[in-house]
Amino acid sequence: MEAFLIRYSIYVVFLIVFVIWIGIAGWLWRLERRLVELEQWARQHEGNRP
Partner 1 sequence: MKAILIGLGVVGGIIVGLVPAVHRPRPRWWMALCVGGMGLTIALGLLPPLSGTFRDAVITWRQVNPELYVPVAGTLDWDAAVASGDTLVVPMTDRAIPPTTAQVLIPSALFVPKDASVVILAVQRWKNDQQFVVQGIVAADPILALPFIPGLEERARNLFFHVPLSWVAVVAYAYALWYAVLFLRRRRFIDDVHSVSAVSIGTLFALLATVTGSIWAKFNWGSFWNWDPRETSIFLLLLIYAAYFALRQSIEEPQRRAQIAAVYAIVAFVTVPFLVFIMPRLMEGLHPGSASDQTAGPILSTQPGVLHPLKQIVFALSMFSFSLLFFWLLSLRVRSGILALRHKIQQVQEISETS
4 touches partner 1 (CB under 8 A):
no
- Of the candidates 1, 2, 38, 47, which one interacts with partner 1 according to CB under 8 A? 38
Rule CB under 8 A: say whether 48 interacts with partner 1: no
Q: Based on the shown chain and the rule CB under 8 A, indicate whether residue 8 belongs to the binding site for partner 1.
A: no
3-state DSSP of 18-29: HHHHHHHHHHHH
CA 29, 35, 39, 40 dihedral sign is: positive
Cβ contact 43:36 at 8 Å: no
Return residues touching partner 1 (CB under 8 A): 7, 9-11, 13-14, 17-18, 21-22, 25, 28-29, 31-32, 35-36, 38-39, 42, 46, 49
